[in-house]
């Protein structure tokens, strides 16, 4: 198996599935992606006909440039915007728009440029750009209108415009607009409707990459409802990345709403003396001039107590920084790969056999340790990279969800079961007794574990997002089966048994909770 073959499969499957998804809802934004996916597939198809030995490299490079780079770049732009680093967001968006000049990215970069100008105090120039963009319509036009209201502090007009002209359907699918809508309701003193909007339109926060936006929205609600302790907890925890002046602004907002007016004014005056961000300064000055609504009976507000006590909203997305078991497993695999290379080469059969490659005959002769050792050996750098990438992507979620000990049991249990299944198949002469190495059985077990976790989540709350994720896992398993059938170097027996073992172990471990 070579890299060209892998890239052909990866590019073809990714673009085909993505194209099918956007064709189901060919909106103005999706039309650009239809062109991108169709172009990559056309290049891949032409390559398979005219230059099959390099088709994967060419299409893969196009896929990275036109698909992966814009997607990851868009997330980074959002992250910069949430951190109020609008100049960085604008510059990155200006680069990304060159990859997709036929959608709204061009105007989106101009929008961020306008906000960056306002942040530097150049309000007249910023308003001029936003007025031009507001005439374009679409998501960028709506965002421009909302930013115009924000710059001028017309929060009441903003909430009325969003309620009447934008509508809840659009707000439920646009986290940036929803953030401004919730804040506008709070600034206007309409706390009941603010809580309703947060609870009823909260489906937008179910997407993993929106946790930062979710925490921001939650902070707005708690601040306007006078929950000082909860706001302080957020600003020193999940939202500690916010600029210092912004954190002080929202703590002061909570103090003012709870009746601690003097403390709030003192905090705002201190922040004003050190703040250089023109947007934050304008917000502080407005807060000193127009105080927020005093919340005399906050506990009576619908859902507020539950919101303050709900820790799930503040949990971070499961990430690799705290996935200690996953990182340790990756480290051991890389270390043993180094040992393979030092002892004679990772693709040398004698070296692999010496270090513990699986052989059904050897296991039958009592060398059971090979079933474990083979899980940490890999044949070539590409084999190692593919497995470690799968472990890196799947491991943190399963480890966070199941806990470290159960995750460890599921990982090693899946790997050992898949190795044992291969030995049994070889001993019964159903498959050839070749040397077998790799963590694929364990990683496929993580796919099975993920399926069970998502199935339980879906059965618990019938979440549409959980169902979509479950469908994606099922699709991944199906595609893996097809890949195994057409790739002779891959052990389908190990992969299939790994998935089943991972799913079964996760189900059994869940029964012990």
Same domain for 40 and 180: no
Domain co-membership, 428 together with 493: yes
What phi and psi values does residue 358 have, to the nearest 5 degrees? -75, 130
Residue 118 lies in a domain: no
State the average pLDDT over residues 57-85: 89
Which CATH number goes with the domain that contains 325?
A: 1.20.1540.10
Is 100 inside any structural domain?
no
Q: Is residue 129 part of a domain?
A: no
Per-residue burial over 141-177, b if 16 or more Cβ lie within 10 Å, else e, is bbbbbbbbbbbebebeebbebbbeebeeeebbebbbb
Same domain, 251 and 326: no
pLDDT for the residue numbered 431: 75
Q: What is the DSSP string of 1-70?
A: --HHHHHHHHHHHHHHHHHHHHHTS--HHHHHHHHHHHHHHHHHHHHHHH-TTTHHHHHHHHHIIIIIHH
The reported pLDDT for the residue numbered 416 is 94
> How many whole angstroms separate alpha carbon 50 and alpha carbon 106?
35
Query: Which of these three, 24, 42, 69, is where a domain ends?
Result: 69
Residues 162 and 302 reside in one and the same domain:
yes
Boundary (domain end) residue, out of 14, 45, 69: 69
DSSP result, 78-108: HHHHHTT-HHHHHHHHHHHTTT-TTSTHHHH
Q: What does the alpha-carbon distance between residue 81 and residue 86 come to, in Å, rounded to a whole number?
A: 5
Residues 449 and 344 in one domain: yes
Give the least confident one: 13-27, 171-185, 220-234, 339-353. 13-27
Across the chain, how many H-helices and E-strands are there? 27, 0
Whether 368 and 419 share a structural domain: yes
Q: Decide if 391 contacts 384 (C-beta within 8 A).
A: no
Please report the sign of the dihedral spanned by the C-alpha atoms of residue 403, residue 406, residue 411, residue 412: positive
Do 357 and 480 lie in one domain? The reply is yes
Q: pLDDT for 128-185, tens place per residue?
A: 999 999 887 778 889 999 999 999 889 999 999 998 888 877 887 788 888 999 999 9
103 vs 33: CA distance, rounded Å: 9
* Residue 436: strand, helix, or coil: strand
Number of domains present in the structure of the chain:
3
**Per residue in 190-206, pLDDT tens?**
888 888 888 777 655 55
Given 18, 39, 69, the domain boundary residue is 69
% of the chain residues with pLDDT over 90: 41
**Rounded-to-integer distance, Cα 122 and Cα 394, Å:** 46
Residues 347 and 471 grouped into a single domain: yes
Is 75 among the domain residues?
Answer: no
**Does some domain include residue 246?**
yes
Residue 109 within any structural domain of the chain: no
pLDDT at 112: 94
Residue 337 pLDDT > 80? yes
Can you tell me the distance from the alpha carbon of 504 to that of 495, in angstroms, rounded to the nearest whole number?
A: 14
pLDDT at position 489: 53
**Closest CA relative to residue 201, chosen from 189, 212, 191, 193:** 193
pTM attached to this predicted model? 0.75
Same domain, 184 and 209: yes
Task: Give the model confidence (pLDDT) of 395-446 as tens digits.
Answer: 888 898 888 999 999 999 999 999 999 999 888 877 777 788 888 889 889 9
Same domain, 293 and 349: no
Residue 486 covered by a domain: yes
Among 18-32, 227-241, 268-282, 355-369, whose mean pLDDT is lowest?
18-32
pLDDT of residue 318: 47
**Among 218-232, 314-328, 356-370, which is the least confidently predicted range?**
314-328
Per-residue pLDDT band at 210 (split at 50, 70, 90): low
- Whether 338 maps to a domain, the answer reads yes
The answer on pLDDT for 497 being more than 70 is yes
Domain residue limits at 253: 157-317
Is 80 exceeded by the pLDDT of residue 119? yes
Show the DSSP H helices in 153-260 as ranges: 155-161, 168-171, 175-188, 191-200, 211-224, 228-236, 244-258
Task: Give the sign of the dihedral formed by CA 415, CA 396, CA 472, CA 97.
Answer: negative
Quickly state the pLDDT bin for 279 (edges 50, 70, 90). Answer: very high
329 and 411 share a domain? yes
Residue 455 sits in the same domain as residue 412? yes
């Amino acid at each position: 198996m070579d890299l060209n073959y892998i890239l052909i499969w990866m590019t073809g499957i990714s673009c085909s599935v993505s194209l099918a998804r956007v064709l189901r809802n060919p909106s103005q934004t999706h039309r650009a992606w239809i062109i991108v996916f169709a172009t990559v597939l056309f290049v891949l198809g032409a390559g398979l006909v005219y230059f099959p030995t390099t088709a994967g490299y060419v299409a893969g490079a196009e896929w990275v440039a036109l698909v992966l780079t814009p997607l990851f770049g868009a997330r980074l732009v959002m992250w910069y915007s949430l951190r109020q680093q609008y100049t960085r967001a604008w510059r990155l968006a200006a680069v990304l728009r060159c990859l997709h000049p036929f959608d709204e990215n061009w105007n989106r970069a101009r929008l961020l440029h306008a906000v960056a100008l306002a942040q530097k105090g150049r309000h007249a120039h910023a308003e001029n750009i936003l007025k031009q963009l507001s005439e374009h319509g679409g998501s960028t036009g709506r965002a421009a209108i909302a930013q115009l209201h924000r710059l001028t502090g017309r929060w009441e007009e903003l909430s009325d415009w969003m309620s009447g002209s934008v509508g809840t359907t659009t707000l439920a699918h646009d986290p940036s607009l929803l953030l401004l809508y919730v804040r506008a309701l709070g600034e206007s003193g309409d706390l009941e409707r603010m809580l309703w909007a947060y609870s009823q339109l909260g489906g937008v926060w179910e997407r993993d990459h929106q946790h930062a936006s979710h925490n921001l929205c939650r902070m707005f609600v708690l601040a306007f409802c006078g929950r000082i302790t909860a706001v302080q907890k957020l600003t020193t925890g999940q939202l500690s990345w916010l600029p210092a002046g912004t954190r002080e602004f929202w703590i002061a907002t909570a103090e003012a709403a709870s009746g601690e007016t003097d403390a709030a004014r003192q905090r705002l005056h201190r922040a004003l003396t050190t703040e250089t961000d023109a947007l934050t300064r304008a917000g502080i000055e407005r807060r000193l001039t127009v105080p927020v609504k005093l919340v005399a009976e906050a506990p009576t507000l619908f859902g507020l107590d539950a919101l303050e006590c709900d820790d799930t909203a503040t949990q971070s997305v499961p990430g690799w920084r705290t996935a200690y078991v996953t990182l340790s497993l990756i480290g051991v695999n890389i270390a043993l790969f180094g040992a393979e290379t030092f002892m004679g080469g990772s693709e040398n059969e004698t070296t692999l056999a010496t270090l513990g490659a699986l052989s059904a005959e050897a296991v039958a002769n009592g060398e059971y340790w090979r079933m474990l050792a083979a899980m940490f050996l890999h044949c070539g750098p590409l084999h190692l990279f593919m497995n470690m990438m799968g472990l890196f992507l799947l491991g943190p979620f399963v480890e966070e969800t199941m806990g470290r000990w159960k995750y460890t049991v599921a990982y090693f249990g899946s790997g050992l079961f898949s190795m044992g299944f291969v030995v049994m198949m070889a001993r019964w002469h159903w498959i050839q007794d070749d040397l077998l190495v790799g963590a694929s059985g364990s990683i496929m077990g993580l796919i099975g574990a993920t399926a069970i976790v998502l199935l339980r989540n879906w059965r618990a709350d019938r979440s549409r997002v959980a169902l979509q994720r479950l469908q994606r896992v099922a699709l991944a398993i199906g595609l893996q089966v097809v890949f195994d059938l057409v790739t002779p170097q891959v052990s389908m027996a190990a992969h299939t048994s790994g998935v089943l073992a991972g799913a079964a172990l996760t189900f059994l471990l869940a029964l012990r909770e």
